[in-house]
Amino acid sequence: MKELLKSKILEAISKIGSEKENWASLNMAELNFEMEYPRDEKFGDWTTNLAMSLAGKLKMNPLEVAGEIVDFLKAENISKVEKIEVIAPGYINFYLSKEYFKKEIENILTLDEKWGETNELSDKTYIFEHSSPNLFKPFHVGHLVNNAIGESLARVIKKSGAQVVTLSFPSDISPGIAKTVWAIKEKGWEDEMNIQKIGEAYVYGTKEYKENETVKAAIDSINKKLYLKDESQELEIYKKGQALSLDYFKEITQRLGSSFDGLIFESESEEVGKEIVNEHTPQIFRESNGAIIFPGSEYGLFDNVFINSQGFGTYLTKDIGLLKIKFDKFKFDKSITITDVEQKEHFRLVKKAGELVNKEWADKSEYIQHGRLTFSGEKISSRLGNVPLAQDLIEKVKERILNKIDGQDFPVEEKNEIAEKVAIGALKYSILKCGAGRNIIFDFEKATAFEGDTGPYLQYALVRANSILNNAKELETEDSLALEERKGETPLVEKMILKFPSVINNSLVDYSPHHLASYLFKLSSEFSSFYAQTKILDTANPDFRNNLALVRAMQITLRNGLELLGMETLRRM
């Protein structure tokens, strides 16, 4: 439809150009304009601001320009276009016919779970890396942000037609881990080790490392043993803690709705990366103060250490090694890595150094960032141990929801399932509704609320739609998808449903699920209004079948949309 309107407009302009000199001077090839959805449905179903941008070149009033184009279009009598309007300051607005909407709704019902799919990225293979944990550190709200956005983007990319391989890159070797191992040994927690204790040990070890010289030396020596895999008591503690942390990571990400096609460990990439760095020293990397650095300052960046003076690869080297592993292991068109914005500069350096080693590495790799989470004014830091853990948050929300549904007449098991899905939905949505690059101020009350612009509101709207369709089964006998033209006005919600694929594309282009989140909220809100003023299950209503089809299309859209956000849907709540 969009393309049809565009071509008609171009045709109009060239036709007018054959009659009028000033129009003829326009360069048709350079005429670049878009048909858009108006910001408000009252401005029609499609709009363009073309006339305003042409007005300057034509030395005419925008309204006159629009008027001439529209006069031509009206004479054409374009099918499925009911009305064309010129509105100040110079918009051309198109109103589509009921027949058009009827056809579109029928199409959605047929597509069902495929509704929203596009071929934007068809035939492409993407590697998508997210939710990389630091083993031996707790999975906290920061990881929740990365997981929520990463998981959703991976799904959006898939919906756009690409094959997606999801990866995670656990940090299983680092000085931070040595601190934790030291603390576990020091506290004698080796046998009673669990996730909770590991978290406490990390905080304790970090503090002691900073404050106590002897401890610092001891931890440095443990670090060496771990990197070199020297048989020792520390290595045993390390192995045990690593296994515990990894199990925990798998458990929590699964609970959040993520699964990974592969894990690549830093201990593995450190070795690969070190080889690359050594091979390219001194051509790309160089020695400095006993370490090997990359002179980023020569490329407008900054110098930083790739192999430290003890001979161990840093985070930078690990990411260089990871590049090689990815390219050796997979065939793909693009690799996307999403991390916290604090790693933005780090990846600029990785990309530059990587480019010098192998240009394809940089060309096919994209590093994107999400915003930082600040927590009631202060910076959250797992080093300080002042971070709310993902698991604790989920449990707290669950508890509130269980209280709320206490009086309802469901089996206990179902209540639990509802509370789990609603809790995770609430947390995820509170993250996803913000632009992905923006910092988020974490507010427990707001992140766990279930009224207004929240995840549970969306889930609730879907439950309502499901419930209507369920009840309708008793009324509905005909099973055909074919609809008749609507008798009354086309409801706004029906028009909004059609925008779904274009919104998915916005989220893809900006790498930000918030477009989808806010669209789904507006859609649910419009549906709720419709629901409040229209008795849908009313067979006497001449639009009964249309309304029912609308609810079904709404259900499909919302369900597919929530899936893209990584939020689970419910039968009732």
Euclidean distance between CA atoms 84 and 47, whole angstroms: 9
What is the SS3 assignment for 344-413?
HHHHHHHHHHHHHHCHHHHHCEEEEEECCEEECCEECCCCCCCCCEHHHHHHHHHHHHHHHCCCCCCCHH
Q: How far is the CB of 191 from RNA (least distance, A)?
A: 27
As given in the structure block, the two tokens for residue 559 are 């369900």
Measured from the CB of residue 118, what is the shortest distance to RNA in angstroms?
18
Task: Specify whether the CB–CB gap between 180 and 202 falls below 8 A.
Answer: yes
- For RNA, the closer of residues 350 and 556 by Cβ is 350
Q: What angle do CA 165, 167, 172 make, to 5 degrees?
A: 165
Rounded to the nearest whole angstrom, what is the least distance from the CB of residue 192 to RNA in the complex? 26
Across the beta sheet with 440-442, the strand order is 378-379, 373-375, 440-442
Relative to beta strand 262-263, strand 163-168 is parallel
544 Cβ contact partners less than 8 Å away, ≥ 6 residues apart? 536, 538
Residue whose CB is less far from RNA, 111 or 522: 522
CB-nearer residue toward RNA: 34 or 192: 34
Minimum CB distance to RNA smaller for 93 or for 555: 93
- Coil, strand or helix: which one is 564? helix
Please say which residue, 262 or 437, places its beta carbon nearer to RNA: 437
Which is nearer to RNA, 89 or 488 (by Cβ)?
89
Question: Which residues fall within 8 angstroms of residue 75, CB to CB, at 6 or more apart?
Answer: none
Alpha-carbon distance of 339 to 344, in angstroms, equals 8
Question: Least distance in Å: CB of 421 to RNA?
Answer: 9
Angle at 60 between CA 58 and CA 65, to 5 degrees: 85
- The nearest distance, CB 263 to RNA, in angstroms, is 14
Strand 303-307 vs strand 291-295: parallel, antiparallel, or unpaired? antiparallel
For 210, the enclosing helix (H) or strand (E) is helix 195-211
Q: Smallest distance from the beta carbon of 4 to RNA, in angstroms? A: 19
Q: Which is nearer to RNA, 189 or 299 (CB)?
A: 299
CB of 451 to RNA, least distance (A): 4
> Minimum CB separation from RNA for residue 535, in Å?
5
DSSP letters of 531-563? HHH--SS-TTSTTHHHHHHHHHHHHHHHHHHHH
Cβ proximity to RNA, 259 vs 374, nearer residue: 374
| Shortest distance (Å) from residue 484 CB to RNA | 20
- The rounded distance, in Å, linking the Cα atoms of 78 and 352 is 53
CB of 329 to RNA, least distance (A): 20
Q: Would you state the structure tokens that stand for residue 491, as one six-digit string?
A: 């409801």
Give the Cβ contact number of residue 167 at 10 Å: 22
Between 164 and 182, CB nearer to RNA: 182
Is the Cβ of residue 72 or residue 299 nearer to RNA in the bound state? 299
